[in-house]
Structures are given as structure tokens and as C-alpha cells.
Amino acid sequence: MIDIKTKINDHFRDVQGGLFESISKADVGEVVSNFALQGGEIMAWADPFYPDPSLPRSVKDTLMKAIEDGYVAHYTPPIGMPKLRETIARVVSKRTGIPINPNRNVIVTPGSDSGLIYSMMPFISAGDEVLVPSPSYPSNFLNPRLLGGKAVPVPLSFEDNYQPNIEEFKKRLSDRTKMVLITHPNNPTTTVFRRKNLEILCEFIVKNDLILVSDQAFEDHIFDGIEFVSPCTLPGMWERTLTVCSISKGIGLSGLRIGYIISDDQIMDTLYGAAVNVLGASCTLSSLAAITALEDDSHLARNFEKLEARRRVAHRIFNSIPGVRTAISESGILSWLDVSALGTSEEVADRIKRDAKILVNPGSQYGAQGEGFIRIVTACFTEESDALLRFERISAVLEQMAAERGIS
């Protein structure tokens, strides 16, 4: 029998979570589906209102009509349906104040996960280094490796409200550094990087002639009036930034698999040129639905109100558990809990899984700085009472763990 693994590229060979590895990472299919089949509940997928039906009426009408019309049997252009690109350009221009040309600055991707790695592909090759704040989205550590490069984690800390500290970036700069990759607002911490800190980071990027990939999947919901700054709007950044966005989180349409990248014409020229080879094309039916979803921003407003209230309830409950500390979420749909007084990330997540029958994410999956934390997707379920019930079940397990350790 051939050892096919020896033929697989070094940087793909030890990827985990395939057929022969049992890992608890929540977004690797089997673990989740088996747990759900056994009656477990998933609060580990950053998917608003999962598992309840939550398709907005206007989007449903568009989908039904598009199926009736029958055109959906056909491809969209690989760079994205023209009307969807126009809609995206309008939304992004309004948000950022930058005039976005739908035919030069926007590409539609099948979800932003593919957009993220595609943004990096033209820039990262063997040996290149990518500075990645830690904790952050797990893909940010794997993507550079899949391209033959290396993620260099830059620590963030709870005490600094997870804001980037430029000295930590400087320490890790090398002659192989090509890129800074941020998730902004950050997942798992929910932190919005503040203008001042972004300005300092962007000066560093310009000075060292780096590229920035800014994953803004969670940009739709920023709470407490915190200012959200798109780094591409800062001096010298437009021509060196790829901004990656999604309709999965704020608008809550992850099942449609639509994301997009915004960038300067020169970068976009390359992304357009290789689109058919790498992305194929996005789903025609989903593209039509995405136009409706983006044009009618009442979905965003409705979700915002609901999720803003939800994060307060989550904070009140989780922050009152002995031995647990958490800051109120600044954005999005998550709670990020320091449970280090109760055990390791894995131990605490396993115990919640066993005793509350709920899957949450061990913080260790988000980089070394995530150890001692867990991530809970607080936006699960449409009804407040359903969410509350689960918060209380998780809380009871954590209180029990605290009592076992004599923490009161």
C-alpha cells in the first residue's frame, strides 16, 4: 500500500480533524453532528439563532421567486453577480466613506472563510511570516501554514482589553514578515480595536511595507456606541489592505455562503484574474437572496436589538459565577469567559459537554492566549427564554466546579 501521506505537501500533511483524527474542534463535522444526534446542543458555532429557523420573510420571498423563475440553474460570473457587487459597493461606500467601484473593488466569495485564504494567496509563499494577534480566529493560524508560510502569534491580553500592543508586533517583525492578519472585531474576544491603536498598527504596516488582511465578519454589530474603524480608511492603507466581510454573522445568513473582499484595483486585478481557478463562482440563488438581505437593513436592525439585549443577560449571568470573569461583549454574538480558576479550557469545556450536554469552544483553539478561557455563542436560539435556560445550565456546571475547588 502506498503511503500517500508522504506525497502530501509538508504544510498540509499534519492538518488535524480529518478522517483519522478525533479532535474536539467544534466546526469539524463529525464531532458536532454525533453530539447533536445524541441530544446534545451546540453553542459553539458562530451562527446567530442556530438551530432555530430564522430566514427573514423578504429573503425567503426572493428565494422562492428565484426558484420559480428558473434562472438559478445558471452560473454567476466568478467575481460575483453584478447587481450583488453594486449592492455591496453601495453598503461599503456608505459605511466607510470611500467610493467603492463595484467593477474594480469588490469580489464575491462563497463565504468569507474562502475569502480569507484567497486574500492571502497572492502574497504568502514558502517561509513568509504573518503576524496574527492571539487569541483570534483559529483559521488565522492555519491559513498561513497551508500556503507554506508561518503564523507568528502576537499576544493580546485580557488586562489590556485585548487591544494590540505595537511593541509586541515590533518584537516579532523579521525580514520574512509579509502581512498582518487581524480579525476586527476580534473573535473570540469580541473586542473592537480602537482608532488610536489601529492608527499605530497601520503606521507600522506602512513603514514596514506590509499587507493587511482585515477580517471584518463581525463588523455589523458594535455595541455601546464604540467607534468602528475600517483600517482601509487610514492613511496609506487603502492600497495595501484586503477587507474580508460576510453576511453570515450580523445579517445571520450563514447558510447562503456569501462573503466578499474589498480592495484596491491593483490587488483586485489579481483576485479577479484567478477567481475562476480558485473560487469557481458563488451560488446564483444565494447571490439573489444576498441582494435582498443587504438592501433591506431591517434584518440587521432587528438582530442588533435582540443580540444587544442577549449579551447583557449573558454577561450578568456568567460574570456572577465565582471564579469566572468576563467583560461585556463589545460586538457580535459571543461571550468570552476566563475560567482558568476552574481548570484548563479543555477540562471546563468537557465538563460542560458532559454535565450540561452543551458544546462550547475551549479557548485554547484560539491560540496560546486563549488557554484558560471558553467561548460561548450566546446568540443561539431565537427565543430569549431558550437562550436563558442554556446559560443557566452552563452556569450551574461552572458553579459546581467552583464549589469543588472551594471558590466562593
Residue 363: all three cell numbers together: 479557548
CB of 50: closest distance to ligand PLP in angstroms? Answer: 11
Task: Select 214 or 395, whichever has its Cβ closest to ligand PLP.
Answer: 214
Task: Select 123 or 366, whichever has its Cβ closest to ligand PLP.
Answer: 366
Task: Select 137 or 162, whichever has its Cβ closest to ligand PLP.
Answer: 137
Task: Select 333 or 356, whichever has its Cβ closest to ligand PLP.
Answer: 333
8 Å CB contact between 381 and 390: yes
Task: Select 133 or 149, whichever has its Cβ closest to ligand PLP.
Answer: 133
DSSP letters, 223-286, are: -TT-----GGGSTTTGGGEEEEEESSSSS--GGG--EEEE--HHHHHHHHHHHHHHT----HHH
State whether residue 382 is helix, strand or coil. coil
Using CB positions, name the residue nearest to ligand PLP: 111
Task: Select 314 or 402, whichever has its Cβ closest to ligand PLP.
Answer: 314
CB of 146: closest distance to ligand PLP in angstroms? Answer: 15
Task: Select 108 or 217, whichever has its Cβ closest to ligand PLP.
Answer: 217
By CB under 6 A, name the binding residues for ligand PLP.
46, 111-113, 137, 183, 187, 215, 217, 246, 248, 254, 259
**Helices marked H in 17-81 — which ranges?**
29-37, 57-69
CB of 151: closest distance to ligand PLP in angstroms? Answer: 15
CB of 316: closest distance to ligand PLP in angstroms? Answer: 24
CB of 76: closest distance to ligand PLP in angstroms? Answer: 17
Return d(Cα 386, Cα 48) in angstroms, integer: 14
Task: Select 137 or 228, whichever has its Cβ closest to ligand PLP.
Answer: 137
8 Å CB contact between 240 and 179: no
Amino acid at 243: T
Task: Select 50 or 381, whichever has its Cβ closest to ligand PLP.
Answer: 50
8 Å CB contact between 258 and 110: yes
CB of 403: closest distance to ligand PLP in angstroms? Answer: 33
CB of 187: closest distance to ligand PLP in angstroms? Answer: 4
8 Å CB contact between 134 and 114: no
Residue 322: all three cell numbers together: 465565582
Give, as one character, the DSSP assignment of residue 121: T
Q: In terms of Cα–Cα distance, which of 9, 37, 51, 18 is closest to 377?
A: 51
Q: In terms of Cα–Cα distance, which of 404, 299, 340 is closest to 55?
A: 299
Strand partners for 150 = 129
Spatial neighbors of 347 by CB under 8 A, at least 6 apart, are none
How many whole angstroms from its chain centre is CA 207? 28
8 Å CB contact between 108 and 86: no
Sign of CA dihedral 397, 347, 332, 234: positive
CB of 111: closest distance to ligand PLP in angstroms? Answer: 3
CB of 137: closest distance to ligand PLP in angstroms? Answer: 4
Q: In terms of Cα–Cα distance, which of 24, 62, 26, 21 is closest to 47?
A: 26
